A and B are shown apart, each in its own frame.
Chain A
């Protein structure tokens, strides 16, 4: 029972490159989330999926796209990375939108 698993854990990109962060959960969660964490800013919601087949924008969606591939998997894509997207990204899952969240260990992304 791995919980919420994110890959990769570390990634360095050049400006303009694209990449996808993968997230998978084995806890049968209906809702899944992508947050970014920057120093002094706390966690900010990028996108979320309240249930399989739905996705919604969060507070900071610009420059990102998401796919809820199935109930287990929720991916975050950066089409053209920018230095402002240097951050630590966290995926989380939960049963209800306002319930307890279970977080992955984070993906540290640096855009040069």
Chain B
């Protein structure tokens, strides 16, 4: 069963615009992670935010976490054509259980 669900399923923006993707989850988490997948490639880890953190930055990436709403958002600022990819959230649950991935958001950045 999917723990995290990304929204929207697909997003198309112009280069230079900001892209925001959301992830909602159902149960309490230890951490939440975002991954990127370029077409035909493996997933690459972007950022991890722990349950006691509210916001985290990495370069042009900004991730927020609202545990009261069980949701997270990934903001990519000043997007580039190279940001075109699928983005997945993954939730790390308490206890020794593996990450559970959502179905992803397909981002297209048009030059």
What is A's interface to B at a CB cutoff of 8 Å?
Answer: 4, 31, 33, 35, 40-45, 48, 50, 58-59, 90, 92, 97-106
Contact = CB atoms under 8 A, between A and B. Distances in A.
B98 A33 contact: yes
Interface of B: 1-2, 30-31, 33, 35, 40-45, 48, 88, 90, 92-93, 96-104
B99 A42 contact: no
B89 to A, nearest CB: 10
A90 to B, nearest CB: 6
A43 B92 contact: no
Contacts of B40: 106
A98 B42 contact: no
Contacts of B97: 97-98
Given A33-B98, A40-B103, A97-B97, A102 B45 contact: yes
